[in-house]
Structure 1
Amino acid sequence: MSGRVAVIGAGAWGTALAVRLADAGRDVSLWARDPRRAAEIAVTRENARLLPGVTLPYSLRVTADAAEAMARADAVLLAVPVQGLRGVAAAIAPCWPGVAPAVLCAKGIDAGTLRLPHETVADALPGVSLAALTGPNFAHEIAAGLPAAAVLAAPDEAVRDALAPLLGFPRFRLYPSPDLAGAALGGAAKNVIAIAAGVVEGLGLGENARAALITRGVAELTRFVLAEGGRSETAAGLSGLGDLVLTCTGGASRNHSLGIALGRGETLEAVLAGRAGVTEGVATAPALVSRAAGHGVELPIAEAVAALLAGRDTARALAEALLARSIRGE
């Protein structure tokens, strides 16, 4: 299928999506905020800092001009980190291409407003149709053409029907869903729970403990999704359980590896200082806890992670506190 797609954000995920969509015959533009970085990627045909070894097809345009990137786009994919999404959405709003839907490709909760990505964009782009592309997807595997699946969530069935053929490509299976809020919550919570799973590994507590933590993480997520009006099927699907398992066990997960480092006694500041990409769970953990509290939902794992990241607790104390919780029915 032909079609014009703008990808806003030249991180690893945005670049991977742009590459695969261009390979599939879409007319794709990739926007990078920094003009020097956009020029470097355009000339070298590689995002060497964040997605090394992946060659950009020459049909893929790279630019720092948002108006140029989005001109006549049939869909705009917003693949910028959640903590910067508010500013980017406001900056590109004046050149938004007509009725093109906004597809949220970032995961997390805005630490300042406690809003999910689609809620943030709805404020900046009133009237624009919203969707989310989310699931258990590592950027380097998508870029390499390895098989994967994702959820395409949008409350409007017509939007889902229009986007599915535009954004799907070989070996990347899309599953439509009307549950935009539930899909977004899954993408936010899994990063936080993955930090806890990494802590368990870093402390050497074993596979049994990690499996138990992941399972209880799904229970936390399900309670939260239902409280927000979402569906339990979403929490048990690709954007919930699927993404959670990948992020809690995959070697390429920044959140999981952060937890391992913290469990081994490294400091948060030292770990983050050595990273190029964003570890979304760090900002999301306290925001997730605060948003859940507004619904009267208890998230013991997320609360423990937030306390660890804030320096109010140690990794060992985090694990002991979770193990010492009162017995209750599953």
Structure 2
Amino acid sequence: MKVSFIGAGSWGTALSIVVADNGHEVKIWDINPEHIEAMKTTRRNDKYLGGVVIPDNIEPTSDIEYCLAGADVLVIAVASQAYRSVMESHGAYMDDKTIIVNVAKGIENGSLLRISEVIAEFKPNNPFVCLSGPSHAEEVSHRLPTTLVSASTSKEVAECIQDLFSTDYLRVYTNPDVVGVELGGALKNIIALAAGITDGMGFGDNAKAALMTRGIREITRLGIKLGAKVDTFTGLSGVGDLIVTCTSMHSRNRRCGIMIGEGLSRKEAEEKVGMVVEGIYATKAAYDLSKKLGVEMPIVDELYAVLYEEADAKQAVKNLMLRARKHEMEEVTKETIWE
């Protein structure tokens, strides 16, 4: 198959290596022509993935029209807030039969649209897949065992992408719940950012376990309101992605949170990370969605106050601890708890 990538950052490059390992013809484009030229010359991506060799069947190019011509599959690997710009600038070069694969994890601020909805505004007839799950580019590029989810409303299309990316080090499952997979991937970044803040303040494992458990509860509540399936949030793109992002130093969301917990401002921490911290944008989107839909999300509320209203992080934790007492199971199931 002919597979094209938009975005030669860490994740786009790592996934292009997977496809190349499977023997496919790969082209990769990036908005930075100097970056592409360096990849051509060195056969490496030292800017984002130091020490990783780019296979010979990956062709870096600065010509977007050439990159997209004849593509059977297009993988878009840019920050979530850049998708609209990509579609506005390059959508005309995308064939209507090309399968479009989103690998970003975010919600568009302002419109509050999921990535699939943004893409559908420009290319409503293209087959679409969200490829998500617990995965760090650094580990995938070194061919360490990883699992992902290929989510599409079309079983055939989901299985096509499953086959494209499956290797002896990358196992891909399919899932028809696009809404749930997109939301799980986007919203877990919020909890990872909060987990980093608790780490930075010196709180222990107990606090992180509580945050992760209650965090997936909030994610599930919002997901159900938007039509997602409960089971998706107990799977790879829910609990799985939450675990890896909250516990690993590969996670830029966690690293950013640690610095905020240590006393840096949101902007200072983001600058030190040096790459897009999706959880910052996801927090605002989730906050706005929760208010719009009337969904209770106390962790999101407190993190929003810390990030956007300069609230004190330690006070935010106290606010969560002193909330009105509740039964653990009441919010999501809506079932009768006590007879």
Q: TM-score range by the shorter chain?
A: over 0.9
Give 2:70's aligned residue: 72
Give 2:255's aligned residue: 257
With 91-100 and 208-217 compared, the bigger mean Cα shift is at: 91-100
Give 2:195's aligned residue: 197
Ranges in structure 1 where 5+ consecutive residues have no aligned partner: none
Equivalent residue letter for 2:209:
A
Match of 2:267 among 266, 269, 281: 269
Give 1:93's aligned residue: 91
SS at match of 1:28: strand
Give 1:167's aligned residue: 165
Check conservation: 1:188, 1:288, Cα contact below 8 A.
no
| 1:225 Cα deviation from its structure 2 partner | 1.3
CA RMSD of aligned residues (A): 1.2
Match of 2:110 among 101, 112, 126: 112
Equivalent residue letter for 2:68:
M
TM-score by length of 1: 0.97
Give 2:221's aligned residue: 223
In the TM superposition, structure 1's runs of 4+ consecutive aligned residues that sit over 6 Å from their partners are none
Check conservation: 1:286, 1:303, Cα contact below 8 A.
no
Give 1:188's aligned residue: 186
Match of 2:156 among 155, 158, 164: 158
Check conservation: 1:50, 1:277, Cα contact below 8 A.
no
2:324 equivalent to 1:326: yes
Cα distance in 2 between the residues matched to 1:90 and 1:168: 31
Cα distance in 2 between the residues matched to 1:156 and 1:266: 45
Give 2:41's aligned residue: 43
Classify 1:97/1:168 alpha carbon distance in 2 versus 1 (closer, same or farther; 3 Å). Answer: farther
SS at match of 2:209: helix
Check conservation: 2:24, 2:57, Cα contact below 8 A.
no
TM-score by length of 2: 0.94
Deviations 1:22-75 (A, max 9, x none): 122111111111222211111111111111111111211001222211221111
Check conservation: 2:11, 2:137, Cα contact below 8 A.
yes
Cα distance in 1 between the residues matched to 2:259 and 2:100: 36
Give 2:336's aligned residue: none
Check conservation: 1:101, 1:128, Cα contact below 8 A.
yes
Equivalent residue letter for 2:64:
A
| 1:246 Cα deviation from its structure 2 partner | 0.6
Equivalent residue letter for 2:53:
T
Ranges in structure 2 where 5+ consecutive residues have no aligned partner: 329-339
Equivalent residue letter for 1:176:
T
Give 1:19's aligned residue: 17
Cα distance in 1 between the residues matched to 2:273 and 2:208: 25
Deviations 1:133-183 (A, max 9, x none): 000000010000000101100011121122221222221111100000100
| 1:292 Cα deviation from its structure 2 partner | 2.5
With 8-17 and 119-128 compared, the bigger mean Cα shift is at: 119-128
With 82-91 and 133-142 compared, the bigger mean Cα shift is at: 82-91
With 129-138 and 89-98 compared, the bigger mean Cα shift is at: 89-98
